[in-house]
Amino acid sequence: EILMTQSPATLSVSPGERATLSCRASQSLSSNLAWYQQKPGQAPRLLIYGASTRTTGIPARFSGSGSGTEFTLTISSLQSEDSAVYYCHQYSHWPPSMYTFGQGTKVEIK
Amino acid sequence: EVQLVESGGGLVQPGGSLRLSCAASGFTFSNYPMNWVRQAPGKGLEWVSAISAISGSGESTYYADSVKGRFTISRDNSKNTLYLQMNSLRAEDTAVYYCAKEGSTWYYDYWGQGTLVTVSS
């Protein structure tokens, strides 16, 4: 099983500041990594796939980078509505039973 | 607009059964693999099961080890509906169950709102 480790567990950032979230994989994923945002009481929402491609409708302040085993989600200028839990998700190694999520990073507004 | 609407959750006793449904609209349902992902209260996301799109060789199904032999995923492309039959339910199956559509590769580009399954006596 590929282990996905996200850090930090909780991130407290002031509005307008940059938030940097990390996701590390126990094996190389190439670029087969996605990021999701989940607000309380809501379903997860896809932000980024292919490690760095923003999906339709996601603001440009969200960006993804990395490949191999180290990945980063950056929120360039944090807005109040960005308060949520963010999950990384690897889909690199077939079959689907091998796909795994990180444990999540909670982003709080300071 | 893509929509996924789950139903069928509820309270069930340990050892009982439930069937979840996910009604899909806004895309060609038969062309896309579909998944179930669950989230226990206060916990993270856990992939449960996947079913491939229809192909010449039929459909393929996949399960997490934690549900293999107890859960069965299926789809009815004529009704644009995904199912999850859950048998021999355990307390640890208590979770919100989401259906999720796959994108161009194996990430999930759309999610339903979820349905809560509670296994308790």
Spell out which residues of chain B touch residue A50, defining contact as CB-CB under 8 Å: 105
Q: Tokens 């491939």 identify what position?
A: B52
DSSP A26-38: SS--TT-EEEEEE
Q: Do A32 and B35 touch (CB under 8 A)?
A: no
Spell out which residues of chain A touch residue B111, defining contact as CB-CB under 8 Å: 43-46
Task: Give the one of B44, B45, B109 whose C-beta lies nearest to A46's C-beta.
Answer: B109
- A8 to chain B, closest Cα gap in Å: 15
* pLDDT above 90: percentage of residues in chain B: 91
- Is A87's pLDDT higher than 90? yes
pLDDT of residue B105: 83
Q: Do A96 and B47 touch (CB under 8 A)?
A: yes
Buried b (16+ CB within 10 A) or exposed e, B78-106: eebbbbbebeebeeebbbbbbbbbbbeeb
Residue B97 is encoded by which pair of tokens? 């169950």
The tens digit of pLDDT for each residue in B61-110 reads 999 999 999 999 999 999 999 999 999 999 999 999 999 999 888 899 99
* pLDDT above 70: percentage of residues in chain A: 100
- Is A96's pLDDT higher than 90? no
Spell out which residues of chain A touch residue B37, defining contact as CB-CB under 8 Å: 44
